[in-house]
Structure 1
Amino acid sequence: MSIFYKKSWYKWIVLVVCILAYSSGNLVRWNYTGISQYLIGEWHIGKEELGILGSAFFYAYAIGQSPWGTLTDILGGRRVISIGILITAIMFSLFAF
């Protein structure tokens, strides 16, 4: 097996991991509309409070973008993506409880 074959195979693995990480992140962001009716029933909140909850999530997400961009400039994209995927996996696991 030549080294060029190994490198091209590695690039495909990295691409698939990045696609899965990006898709799972979007799944969490877009999942909010699917569970909104359950949140209203379970937490006994109105549509106004549900809107505030959605806005809080959006603003927290928007504020978090700037530090991650700065970290990417300092540490490099590979490290920041790895850290982000690790933190996301931990948060997904904690959210299950």
Structure 2
Amino acid sequence: MFCRRELKIIRNEPNRMKSYHDEHNCCVSFRNKIVNLKVIVEHFEATIGDHPKMKLREIQIRVASKMHVNVNMTRCRRAKKMVKDKLAGNFVQELAML
């Protein structure tokens, strides 16, 4: 993800190599399936939690600048919703403890 390369993982490949080589012949990709919703939430949870009214376009720009990956607005919307739900759940649990 951080070397900006798309890894193709083929399941049940009979001649699977078990070693990792850092040299790449493929070009830099701005589409990466490894950067999914959970990764965005994990990296930007504090930022979205501190600024709950942050616009989706701002989240998209931050993901593009930090991770060098283009993501769509739907993925940003779902990440923002997941962070808000997580924070609201924590709030309800804290009130239940009182």
TM bracket (short chain):
0.3 to 0.5
Q: TM-score normalized by structure 2?
A: 0.32
| Higher RCO (CA 8 Å, separation ≥ 6 residues) | 2
Higher-helix-fraction structure: 1
